[in-house]
Chains A and B, each alone.
Chain A
């Protein structure tokens, strides 16, 4: 039988107190006692409250570096050596170069769709650097940076975006940026928003039940402030806090859900205000300050594993780019606003200034690194763009495991018969078949 983990008595007492005690709201002392099964103190004052922290104030935002890359007074930088700092910077700087190319490639009609992560590089890389490489990540769609941090290759990125036969994420079945990798513990992206959130609570639960991974790994789920409006967000937070399961919730509050600004997404104090509603340890962090993100996610992860319960981190940033290649954000926000944000609060240059102040980076390295990345990205793109897709037959695989149902078998045979009949005479099919490995021959020239 599996051992049920027992928390030390002190922690249990703290947890019990935490659940029922209010935060910093000052109420009259407990002259009237409590309700029978609650720690909620009785009060004779009729008073509504409307704040998670001090009345009238918003939840503070944790920051370590200022806009010029200098440590704030009293800020403690996270433990980090030069190697880690450089790796973090390089990953940050690389992202927009990849985004630039693939965005333009979509504009040229070579891929159908793409989503950039401009402005959110610190949130993505800072959090990725704080996690263990085998923490299970469930993303929304803008977290390719996390996957790249873990070692996902540019060739694999290209393969997924082009849907080529090297695409292991989805074997050509998904739109671009819908990555998935068992090897890198990155669960498959799906377009419906927030569905990953209660799933993450389940993933965390499985980790807790696995004696080899309990206390060592947590589930980490990313979602935008828009997705946090979905019922699945509530369900996931509820389950991770109540069952409980070690699940780290990272809300990327980038100010927009396509065209909907956060002022039209929620009325409360952001996403962070919801955490205490579930009894969860919560922090709001400056998502454009990579050191603050690194510290906050490290600490959040530690709390998550120690208590085996959900923890919420709200990372504040700004979506510099459009929602996707299907969006022109200047239809709903002024160009000037975007330019100003890029200048005033740039996560990459903020960290670059910090590194340069330490002598860990300079202008020459910047030039040569960017040139190197541009070459690599271009090489991977050229290699990927001309690759064929999987065999047409692949379309019918992986619907079911085990014995193939007659529906799949007969429908594949129906397509097979159509290909045999029309594949070489119907032009749209003829040229389309050439894009697939085998050009449909695995069906056309087979008897079954």
Chain B
């Protein structure tokens, strides 16, 4: 259910003058947008853990205390958190990995000075240029190099500067990393390789700074793909990915690097790979997504419960009390079919949201599997709200990326099917 805070927010919204409402939904900030992008609705998201207590109580958190001096593994009393945004959380995860694992190295283009998104700030100074270093400009080289390091049992944490540039490395990732163990009869493997890359739209990225390429890798069995929605998630999932004995592609929604801020536990902890998280429970419709669209979904849920005046005619009053179950998939491959199936069997309706184009996107894979398992329980066709089948167009982005309005519309249609 919605938190008290969320109800507070939605009530506040209705009493605001029209001018502010405009500002809420159409950003008219006077200063130029920062290069990393800025999503207004995130700052007020109820899914971000703004307090120490809520952060420490994140679902399925597993503490990895190496020594006997620290608090015991299952206890949260005495643990500290620190305010971090997503890039700081990513950096924190890598620092812990470098600290605890002598074989770990971090490499990629421009990582030594701190990275173009600051994810590696200070790591070269702290751990030395032999462990945190720049590579020449070659994604196929970065991926191949990482596979070589991993095949020797060392931990390789590679960075691809933008997910849009992962394609030169596609052969190394799909033909080599994913298949290394299978083809060698289990003797070798690239399991200790993790490839990180910034993904998804940023507001002004155009074709080549906005892509969500997770769908291309679905056929590369042997790989795992993980996409976090927030700083607490990013740190735990990244540590989980680094330590997972399979090669993992970790895609970080770049627009969230600065705008998602939470209290993040400073200890070493992991979140489970392969497990989705239910953010809001409900019985009327399952809303499934990952990464940035989580926040658009949150806004859409508020709009469904109490639509703004302009949209009220399009949201039947009977639907405004609908309880929607919002799920963050988190791991895209292998995806948590049990959680999704259990949910859809209850709700009978599924809406999947992703920024990647419709055709060939992950939504199609999930929809096929869900219809197979929940065929007789479905009350409406599985609905996908996605980017269009065009490259991401620079000045049309607001009509391209699925926003709260499109998600709201899809929910209404699915609920009234």
Contacts and interface: CB of A to CB of B under 8 A. Distances in A.
B191 A180 contact: no
A341 interface: no
Given A187-B151, A205-B149, A198 B183 contact: no
Interface string A30-66: 0000000000000000000000000000000000000
Interface in A1-41: 1-2, 4
Contact of B144 (A181, A187, A236): A236
A205 B172 CA distance: 18
Contacts of B199: none
Contact of A200 (B148, B179, B189, B222): B148
Given A202-B149, A405-B334, A407-B334, A197 B186 contact: no
Given A400-B222, A405-B334, A190 B148 contact: no
A195 B185 contact: no
A200 B152 CA distance: 11
Interface string B176-198: 10011111111111010000000
B136 interface: yes
A425 interface: no
A197 B147 CA distance: 11
B127 to A, nearest CB: 9
Contact of B186 (A171, A235, A405): A171
A190 B185 contact: no
A195 B171 contact: yes
Interface in B129-158: 130, 133, 135-136, 138, 140-141, 143-154, 156
B105 interface: yes
B274 interface: yes
Contacts of A170: 183-185
B130 A4 contact: yes
B245 A401 contact: yes
B337 interface: yes
Nearest to B188: A188
A306 to B, nearest CB: 18
A236 B141 contact: yes
Given A180-B188, A235-B140, A203 B149 contact: yes
Q: Name the residue in B103, B172, B187 with the highest tally of chain A Cβ atoms < 10 Å from its Cβ.
A: B187
A242 interface: yes
A192 B176 contact: yes
Given A199-B176, A201-B144, A190 B152 contact: no
Interface residues of A, number: 55
A235 B172 CA distance: 12
B241 to A, nearest CB: 12
Contacts of B360: none
A169 interface: yes
A178 to B, nearest CB: 7
Contacts of B102: 2
Given A188-B188, A231-B140, A402-B246, A174 B145 contact: no
Nearest to A207: B152
B148 A199 contact: yes
Contacts of A180: 183-185, 187-188
A206 B182 contact: no
Given A2-B102, A239-B136, A168 B187 contact: yes
Contact of A199 (B135, B147, B179): B147
Interface in A153-200: 167-171, 173-174, 178, 180-182, 187-188, 190, 192, 195, 197-200
Interface string A133-171: 000101000000000000000000000000000011111
17 contacts: A4-B128, A170-B183, A173-B182, A192-B176, A197-B144, A198-B141, A198-B144, A201-B148, A202-B146, A203-B148, A206-B148, A209-B154, A219-B148, A242-B136, A243-B135, A398-B182, A399-B182
